[in-house]
Structure 1
C-alpha cells in the first residue's frame, strides 16, 4: 500500500510504502474491544471505597428488648438497614487490571492502524515541525482538513510542536512509544510522520 506524504503546509513530499502486514489487515471489532477494555481497566484508579459496618462508629448496645415490641429484632446501629450504618457489599480499593497476551495487544495495534488506513483516515506527514504558536499550527491543521486528530511522531517529538498543540482540545501528540489502540480509535484521523512509520515497521518486523 502506498500513500502520499505531505508537509505540514500541505505540499506533496513524495510517497511512502506501508507494509500490508501492519496497515492492510481486515479489522476485527472483537480484538479491538478486548484491547480497549484492557487499556481502560489498567488505568482505572480503583480507589473507590465505602465503609462497612465494622468501620462505622456506632454503639453496639442493643437498642431495645429482644421480644415483645412487635418489631424486628435488632442489636447494632451500624447495620446496613439503618441510616448512617455501614454499606453492605460496597466497593473496596482494588486493581481493575487484567491480563491480555502480548500477541493480542500487538494484533490490536495492527488492526487499529489498518482500520484507519482502510477508511482513508490515515495521513502521512514528512515531519511534525512548527513554531510554538497555537494559532499558526491550528491554521495549518485546518488547511489540511484535520480537526479531531492524533499525531504520532518519532522517539522525541519536537518540543515547539507539542507546545503549539497542547492548547488544541481535539489534537493529541504522542511519541511512537506511546502509540496505543484507544487513542487511535478515539480520534477521527491518525497522522503519522515518516519517522513513526519507520519505527512501527522496525517494531513489527
Structure 2
C-alpha cells in the first residue's frame, strides 16, 4: 500500500510503502473489542470499598435479650439488616485486569491501523518537529490541514518543541510509537503517523 507523505504546511514530500500485513487487513470488530476491553479493565482503579459489619462504627452490645421479646434474634446494630449497619458482600479493592495474549494485542493494533487506512483516515507526515515551540503557529497549520480530532504517532522520541506547542491544542494528541494503542487510535477521527513512526511501528509489529 502506497501513501503520499505530507508536510505540516500541506506540501507533498514523497511516498511511503506501507506493509499490507499491518495496514491492509480486514478490520475485525471482535479483536478490537477484546483489546479495548482489556485496556479499559486494566486502567480501572478498583478502589471501590464498603464497610462490613466488623468495620462499622457502632456498639457491639447485644441490642436486647435473646428470648422473650417475640422478635427476631439479633446481636449488635452492625448487622446488614439495620440502618448504618455493615454491607453484606459489598465491593472491596481489587484489580479488574485480566490476561490477553501478546499476539492478540499485537493483532488488535494491526486491525486498528488497518481500520484507519481502510476509511481513508490515515495520514503519513514527513516529521513532527518545529524550530520553536509556538502553539499559535502549529494550531494554524492544523486548522489549514483540516484536522479536528487527531492522534499523531511519532517515532521512538517526540520532538520537544512540537510537544510543547501541541500541549494546549484541543483535539490534538501526541504519542511515541511505543505508546501507540488500540483505544487511542479508535477514539480519534484522524490518525497521523510520521515517517519515523511508520518505521518504528513496523519494527514493533513484525
TM-score scaled by structure 1? 0.95
Post-superposition Cα deviations, 1:131-179, rounded to whole Å, max 9, x if no partner, equal: 3122211111111110101100011110011111111232110001100
Give the match for residue 91 of structure 2. Answer: 91
Give the match for residue 73 of structure 1. Answer: 73
Post-superposition Cα deviations, 1:87-113, rounded to whole Å, max 9, x if no partner, equal: 111111111111000110010000000
Q: Tell me, what secondary structure is at the counterpart of 2:75?
A: coil
Q: Which is further off, 46-55 or 72-81?
A: 72-81
Q: Tell me, what secondary structure is at the counterpart of 2:71?
A: coil
Q: Tell me, what secondary structure is at the counterpart of 1:185?
A: helix
Q: Which is further off, 50-59 or 192-201?
A: 50-59
Give the match for residue 204 of structure 2. Answer: 203
Separation in 2, partners of 1:39, 1:191: 22
Kindly indicate whether residue 13 of structure 2 is the aligned counterpart of residue 23 of structure 1. no
Q: Which is further off, 150-159 or 194-203?
A: 194-203
Structural mapping, 1:29-178, within 5 Å: 29-130=29-130, 131-178=132-179
Tell me by how many angstroms 1:48 deviates: 1.4
Separation in 2, partners of 1:169, 1:69: 68
Q: Which runs of 5+ in 1 are unaligned?
A: none
Separation in 2, partners of 1:109, 1:181: 5
Separation in 1, partners of 2:134, 2:79: 60
Tell me by how many angstroms 1:72 deviates: 3.0
Separation in 1, partners of 2:177, 2:167: 17
Post-superposition Cα deviations, 1:62-117, rounded to whole Å, max 9, x if no partner, equal: 21233443433322111112222111111111111110001100100000000000
Separation in 1, partners of 2:200, 2:158: 13
Separation in 2, partners of 1:72, 1:120: 70
Separation in 1, partners of 2:33, 2:99: 14
Give the match for residue 3 of structure 2. Answer: 3
Aligned CA RMSD, in angstroms, stands at: 1.2
Q: Which is further off, 51-60 or 140-149?
A: 51-60
Q: Tell me, what secondary structure is at the counterpart of 1:113?
A: helix
